Amino acid sequence: MGIILSKMRKKIVAGNWKMNKTLQEGLALATELNNVLTDASPKCEVIIGTPFIHLASVTSAVDTSKIHVSAQNCADKESGAYTGEVSASMIKSTGAEYVILGHSERRAYYGETHEILKEKVRLALKNELKPIFCIGESKEEREANKQNEVVKAQLEGSVFNLSVEEFSKVVLAYEPVWAIGTGLTATPDQAQEIHAYIRSLIAEKYGNEVAEDTTILYGGSCKPNNAKELFANPDVDGGLIGGASLKADDFKAIIDAF
C-alpha cells in the first residue's frame, strides 16, 4: 500500500443564477432547494451563486452546512467612493462563503481584464471568501485551436501569482464561452482533455499534490441529461450551472448525477 499524499479533492455542483429572480423568487427557490436536500445526502458540495441583494436573506433561509452561498462578483477596490460597487468584505458579512470571479460575461460585457481579476481574487481571499475562478475560450479561439493558450494566459494573468496556501482556496471553473447558454456542450472527451491540461499547468506551477487537490468544474449548458457523462471524467470535479440552476428539480437532478 502506497502512502496517500493527497486529500481527496472536493466535488462541487454550483449554481449561477446570474441576473435572475426577484428577492421573493430567489428566497422561494433557495427554500425549495433546502427542503429537497434536507433528507438527501448529496455526494458533492452544493453552492448557489445568487445576486448580491439575495445573499443575506438566502444565507439565513438555508442550512448553510448543506447549501453554501456564493456571490457572482465583487469590487476590485477595498472600500470607499465607488458608487454602486459591492466589496468582498460586504459579501463576507452576509454569511456568503464563495464568490464567482472572471465569468466570461463579466470579462466580455464589463471589460474585466486579467489585472482587474487578479485584484478581485486578492481581495476575495483577503476577506476569507473562496473564489470560483472562471476560465475558458471563445468559439473563434476554439476554432483556431487556441483554447490551451487562452486558459493558460487566464490562469497566469490572475491566479498563478498566488501562494500555494492562497491557491488551495481557489476553485476553478472551465467554461467554454461557446457552450454557455447556447445548448452546445463540450463533449465529455473535450472537457476531459482541457481539464487534464489545466491540471497539468497547476502541477507545473504548484506541484502534483496541489494539482490533485484542485477542484475543476465544467460549465456550459450542463443539464440533467448530460451531467453524468461529464462528471464521469477523472478530471471533471463537478459543474458550474447557469440555466439549469434556476429550477430546483433540474439542479437537484444534476447534483444526483454524482
* Binding region for ligand PEP (CB under 6 A): 16, 175, 180-181, 219-222, 240-244
Catalytic annotation, pick one of 112, 137, 175, 195: 175
Rounded Cα gap, residues 16 and 124, in angstroms:
18
149 assigned to active site = no
Cβ closer to ligand PEP: 238 or 243? Answer: 243
Helix (H, G, I), strand (E, B) or coil at 45: strand
Grid cell locating 157: 494573468
Rounded Cα gap, residues 102 and 249, in angstroms:
28
Give Dmax over CA atoms of the chain in angstroms.
59
Residue 221 C-beta: closest distance to ligand PEP, Å: 4
Q: Which residues have C-beta within 8 Å of that of residue 78, sequence separation ≥ 6? A: 87, 89, 123
195 assigned to active site = no
Residue 82 C-beta: closest distance to ligand PEP, Å: 25
Number of Cβ within a 10 Å radius of residue 256 = 15
Cβ closer to ligand PEP: 37 or 180? Answer: 180
Cβ closer to ligand PEP: 224 or 243? Answer: 243
Residue 252 C-beta: closest distance to ligand PEP, Å: 15
Rg of the chain, C-alpha, whole Å:
17
Residue whose C-beta lies closest to ligand PEP = 242
Rounded Cα gap, residues 43 and 12, in angstroms:
9
Q: Which residues have C-beta within 8 Å of that of residue 115, sequence separation ≥ 6? A: 157, 158
Grid cell locating 219: 460549465
Residue 209 C-beta: closest distance to ligand PEP, Å: 28
Cβ closer to ligand PEP: 219 or 238? Answer: 219
What positions carry a catalytic annotation? 103, 175
